[in-house]
Amino acid sequence: MFKIITVLLFLLIFENKMLHSSENFIVLKVNNNIITKIDVENEYRYLIALNSNLEKLDKEKLYTLSKESILREKIKKDEIEKYIG
């Protein structure tokens, strides 16, 4: 009985991680930096956290907005590093 409970508990704990695995691939490349799908998804969540009204937008439009936002961020970072050294 203890073994069954232990196995069930183990499955319940790790089931969440197994179900939320996602495929990662390169979305954009900026100079020597790559932007992956996970980077865009994180930016998506970040933008919604900053402004909850963005949730009202179509998901495709918000995904595009997230890609553009992270692209601008990478370009700004590259320019700053170029001038700072």
19-50 residue pLDDT tens: 555 688 899 998 888 999 999 999 999 999 99
Judge whether 66 and 39 are in contact, CB under 8 Å.
no
pLDDT in tens, 44-76: 999 999 999 999 999 999 999 999 999 999 999
pTM exceeding 0.85: no
